[in-house]
Amino acid sequence: MHTHPVPVITIDGPTASGKGTVAHIVADLLGFHYLDSGALYRLTALSALRKDTPLTDEHALAKLAEHLPCHFTGGEIFLANENVSDAIRAEAVGNAASKIATLPMVRHALLGLQLSFRRAPGLVADGRDMGSVIFPTATLKIFLLASPEARAQRRYKQLIEKGFSANMEDLCKDLLERDARDANRAIAPLKPAQGAYVLDTSHMGIDEAVAQVMAWYAAAKKVVQ
C-alpha cells in the first residue's frame, strides 16, 4: 500500500510579520500540530540569560539547546514546569534569541527537536528557515512579509497587551537590526524558500491572510493527490 508522507505547511518571515498568529489558526483549522520554531530559540535564550551563560559561548549554548526541557500545551509554552509564554516574548529575550540563532552549533542542536514535530495528521511550522532548511519537501511553503512600520505597530500592541513597556522608535530600530542579522547570517539566512508563495500582510487582516493560506493549501493538496 502506498503511504503519503505527513503533510507540512511552512510559514517563514521576519519578526512580527504575523506568521505565528496565521500559522496557529491554520493549524487549528486543519487539526494539525503546530511548531513555533522561534520559541525554541527564545527558550534557549531565556535559559541562557537565567543561567548567566555568555551569548558568545557556543558550546554552552548548544548544550542548553540540546537538553531543553520544554513542551507546548494548549497554545502555552513551558520550560520544565513553568509557563513562560509571556517571559519569552520580552524584547531582551528576543534580541538574545536572534544572536544565538546565528550560531551553527545551536541550530544543529535544535534540528532533531524541530523535526520531531512532524507527526500525523500534519504540521504547520513557523519560523525563518522552516521551508528553506528544516522541511525543504514541505507540501506548501509561504513567506510572510510586512513593512517595518506595520510590524513595529503590531509588536507594540502585543507588548502593551502583555503588560510590557514599549517604545515605537526603539521597536522599529530593533526590528531592522534583527532583520539584517537574520538575513546576513552565514547559516540558514532569512529568505523565501525555493517555491514559496510570498504574502505581504502590511495592509491585510489576519482572517484575509489565513484564507489565502488555506486556499493555497487546498490547491497544493490537489497537486499532491
Confidence label for 2 from pLDDT (cuts 50, 70 and 90): very low
- Per-residue confidence (pLDDT) for residue 224, from 0 to 100: 64
- Please indicate, yes or no, if residue 119 is contained in any of the structural domains: yes
- Please indicate, yes or no, if residue 188 is contained in any of the structural domains: yes
As a whole number of angstroms, the distance between CA 138 and CA 96 comes to 29
Average pLDDT over residues 101-105: 91
CATH number at residue 67: 3.40.50.300
- Please indicate, yes or no, if residue 225 is contained in any of the structural domains: no
Range(s) of the domain holding residue 63: 8-218
- Asked if omega into 121 is within 30° of 0 (cis), the reply is yes
- How much of the chain exceeds pLDDT 70, in percent? 98
* Model confidence at 126: pLDDT above 90: yes
Q: How many residues does the chain have?
A: 225
- Per-residue confidence (pLDDT) for residue 1, from 0 to 100: 39
- Please indicate, yes or no, if residue 203 is contained in any of the structural domains: yes
- Please indicate, yes or no, if residue 224 is contained in any of the structural domains: no
What's the pTM? 0.87
Domain count, the chain: 1
Alpha-helical segments (H) within 76-205: 91-100, 104-115, 148-161, 168-184
For the ranges 3-12, 56-65, 107-116, 179-188, which has the lowest average pLDDT? 179-188
Q: Is 104 helix (H, G, I), strand (E, B) or coil?
A: helix
Q: How far is CA 75 from CA 23, 51, 203, 214, in A?
A: 12, 26, 26, 20
